[in-house]
Chains A and B, each alone.
Chain A
């Protein structure tokens, strides 16, 4: 019988931020420091926390509007935070020294992710209907992967047909980039050739979070949608492999454990759910949050034994996985 994962609450911090906490990510360990948790909030700050006690290490200020996304470089040395003011700030995690500030036109910066090697930062481009790729050594914009207009539409048509890109995910081998839009479309790009490959059809409501399964040559993509389901897609074959239901609200965030065994989601129904992919069902529901859960994140690294969740209720929670 397959090993079944279980979550147990470890620690919660009430009023971790002054406003809703919208985003969270783990910063991998460096040679001199264990993994840390980064959270970003409507209160315009990014906070750095040390597990398991969730001691506050630092509060980074400087963004002019709410922080929508935080992302960590695979080395654990640097990280990036993006806000609604469409500025991305790249900083040294331990010293908070600013390394670069990336500017974009308004509403063209949403979720971000560093590629598995750390050479490129992909930023979901919101209203620009594209993914922006920034080179991490020079911090220059090296590519814009645009979602092509639907066939038959004229350029003069209202931009309502243009997709608003919310989420982005790298495949573990760094060869594919997927992005999710407000209208439910998931677009897949070939990174090396900087080319649009195809759409993954079947969803019609905002796709706010995407994550590939962790095996190296993975073609499996998990999506979280406002339609309340988690879908599993084959990015090459374009088919939907499966769907997992259970949430009673929008699914705002999805993440997969480093060993690929378990999937966690956060939802507007205020719960965090743990799913077993093989059983296609939720095996656990955590209801400690009192408002929408905006982000869930498994700690990277072999054991994947920690999960963090953040919520509109301004709190962050840490769970032990076994």
Chain B
């Protein structure tokens, strides 16, 4: 009971520093039960006010903390105003009901100690409550309402705590041996160009036994580049581990990278991304966590350094491989610039990008020959040319 009250007290802390907790199944179940009890309490009160129900309007400026049913512990309901209109529309009521349906289903999974992916959860909800669920997007949004929507979330626990497995796009290759408990050891340098697929199950990733003789970890933005580097066995020329999330990194890939950085603290982590705001955004996500994407993502930040492509590398590629920045690039750039976590030298690179109005992809290096990429990588690493 002590732990429960302590964890509940945390919700009271500074609203600016909100994060989603990693909880044990019975703790999450307890939160679900309290959510239901609170809802019933509101419904059965003499003056049931819809405006006291959360989940509907989500502006941090409107959030307040309300008393929970456990008198010595304050609960995490952040109540919202301007709700009386929303429940009038059929869509809003369905969205409201969806939250309870998802909680119900997750409660069952927690009891069975089962883990599911968001897709599997969708199949079950589709068949169990066909009237309320018809698309994956609805399920994803509902989970966000429960776990991680700005400063407002009903249960305020991580998706992982709810029993929802991430699906992962990540791959690993190179000088590292991975072993799942009671399974065979996988040598990632012998996995071919496809590498070792990173599981979405964080528990499994937590239990992986890792051994390495590498000197560097190279995080690659794009799958094609990862494949090329793996095929060319670049990790043999310079003993290294290659990792990619095939674009914007998912939780599982970041989790594994974080584990690697703690297990092998002497290995510099170097990022190879395209020279455009999206590349820098990807790098920043590995570095700091998701910018503005929710409460959970701060957790697996790593000290990743920017190897390339950078402004200095532009002299290595032909003029014609530079392309104009798209409106989306500018949008990303603006949000990066406004972020307080961006370092000065990164800010400078971003400024050059925006000023030139151009972008370049890593593939542009192939202009100098298909094996140039490996040489480029080796040279930069040896010269410690990363920021």
Contact = CB atoms under 8 A, between A and B. Distances in A.
A119 B127 contact: yes
A119 B128 CA distance: 6
B33 interface: no
Interface string B33-64: 00000000000000000000000000000000
Interface stretch (B118-126, B213-221, B222-230, B298-306): B118-126
B236 interface: no
Contacts of A97: 119
A172 interface: no
Interface string A25-36: 000001110000
Contacts of B123: 77-78, 92, 99
Nearest to A75: B126
Contacts of B124: 137-138
Contacts of A74: 130
A136 B127 contact: yes
B130 A117 contact: yes
Contacts of B122: 77
Contacts of A136: 127-128
Contacts of A17: none
B134 interface: yes
B135 A31 contact: yes
Interface residues of B, number: 12
A30 B130 contact: no
Nearest to A136: B127
A118 interface: yes
A299 interface: no
B232 to A, nearest CB: 31
27 contacts: A30-B134, A30-B135, A31-B135, A32-B135, A73-B126, A73-B127, A75-B130, A75-B134, A77-B122, A77-B123, A77-B126, A78-B126, A78-B127, A92-B119, A92-B123, A97-B119, A99-B120, A118-B126, A118-B127, A119-B128, A135-B127, A136-B127, A136-B128, A137-B125, A137-B127, A137-B128, A138-B124
Contacts, number: 37
Interface residues of B, dominant DSSP: helix
Nearest to A100: B123
Given A73-B127, A118-B127, 4 more contacts: A32-B135, A75-B134, A78-B127, A117-B130
Contacts of B127: 73, 78, 118-119, 135-137
A31 B122 CA distance: 14
Interface in A74-105: 74-75, 77-78, 92, 97, 99
Contacts of A118: 126-127, 130
Contacts of A31: 134-135
A48 to B, nearest CB: 18
A99 B135 CA distance: 16
A145 B134 CA distance: 29
Contacts of A78: 123, 126-127
Contacts of A119: 127-128, 130
A138 B105 CA distance: 11
A92 B134 CA distance: 14
A62 B379 CA distance: 49
A256 to B, nearest CB: 23
Nearest to B135: A31
Interface in A1-48: 30-32
A-B interface, 8 closest residue pairs, ranked by CB to CB distance from nearest: A136-B127, A137-B128, A137-B127, A137-B124, A118-B130, A31-B135, A117-B130, A75-B126
Contacts of A30: 134-135
B209 to A, nearest CB: 29
Most chain A beta-carbon neighbours within 10 Å: one of B122, B125, B127? B127
Nearest to B120: A99
Nearest to B108: A138
Contacts of A135: 127
B199 to A, nearest CB: 16
Nearest to A74: B130
With most chain B CB atoms within 10 A of its CB, the pick from A30, A77, A92, A118 is A77
A138 B125 CA distance: 10
Interface in B172-196: none
B123 to A, nearest CB: 5
A214 B134 CA distance: 22
A30 B135 CA distance: 8
A29 to B, nearest CB: 11
Nearest to B122: A77
A74 B133 CA distance: 12
Contacts of B125: 137
A138 B108 CA distance: 11
A31 B139 CA distance: 14
A138 B122 CA distance: 12
A32 B127 CA distance: 18
Name the residue among B120, B123, B128 with the largest chain A CB count within 10 angstroms. Answer: B123
Contacts of B126: 73, 75, 77-78, 118
A135 B123 CA distance: 12
